[in-house]
Homo-oligomer: A and B are copies of this chain.
């Protein structure tokens, strides 16, 4: 951790400082837990009262507030906060193993400058690793894999043969990239494995969460677009295309040959069926089940997924079903009585 003055931090993020610029900040924390010497942020109006109570030395805000703590006013406080966390705390430092003698590296593998290839990792025949990559213990790089620069492959992550990994890609521990797609031809009651000859392509700046499973394509490649971030335990089916700058929250499943546009956000445990098209900038609420193509910009929820506002109103009424059923029965009885009375009169 490095220490900076508030003045330095305000300049660094291009913000206006309200408070003593000489105060030293050594680290970042939440509104609730921050102490003197720490900086925090406000990005949700719900937490405005906490700004007034915080013990932090400074708060990043989008407009000047009436509060004791010093404030740095910026357009996007969370982004500014991210930059300050990077400045003060930095990203994870990796062990400088160089190319370990206890790694298993094929003779014809190509490894760029500055890589740390940890013990017990495997780089298979014909694989190419760019410069400054971190290959942690137990990571497996299959034959013919091509990887760009500055990638981090965490322990026991597995990349199957032939996959293409861009630059600045992060793969968290125990994730699997490029295993066989779930493709079988069923004939006379037996399921016959179809060789999965497509690859997985992870474009630049992609992050794959821990324990993910990204299937290779049956014939076409599976692609995850530039800058997309995939949470833990996500399943991506064979031949699926995820556009650039998407966020797929943990435990999402996208079935084979689905196509997602750019800047989509899928909430936790969302499921998307195969062979449909989800447009650009689509948001899908947690746990939704998407079974039809979705137009650009839509926000969806529920299973089967419908427009989110409609879903919110509709699903909140499920609990009134017993009451509705009773009311219908009452109406039927009353109507029958009216009809009988009418006939009598």
Contacts and interface: CB of A to CB of B under 8 A. Distances in A.
16 contacts: A33-B220, A90-B195, A95-B124, A104-B118, A137-B138, A140-B173, A176-B210, A182-B231, A184-B229, A232-B235, A235-B251, A302-B318, A304-B315, A324-B328, A327-B328, A334-B339
Interface string A208-227: 01111101000110000001
Interface residues of A, number: 119
A261 B259 CA distance: 34
| Max chain B C-beta neighbours (<10 A), residue from A231, A263, A268, A327 | A268
Interface of A: 27-30, 33, 76, 78-79, 81-83, 85-86, 89-92, 95, 102, 104, 118-120, 122, 124-125, 136-138, 140, 143, 154-156, 158, 160-161, 170, 172-176, 179-180, 182, 184-187, 189-195, 197, 205, 207, 209-213, 215, 219-220, 227, 229, 231-233, 235, 237, 245, 247, 249-251, 253, 255, 263, 268-269, 271, 273, 286-287, 289, 291, 302-304, 306, 310-311, 313-322, 324-325, 327-328, 331-332, 334-335, 338-339, 341-342
A180 B174 contact: no
Given A140-B136, A209-B182, A253-B250, A227 B190 contact: yes
A92 B339 contact: no
Which of A161, A173, A197, A268 lies at the interface centre, i.e. has the most chain B CB atoms within 10 A of its CB? A173
A173 B174 CA distance: 9
A253 B270 CA distance: 11
A316 B190 CA distance: 34
Given A28-B197, A185-B78, A263-B189, A271 B253 contact: no
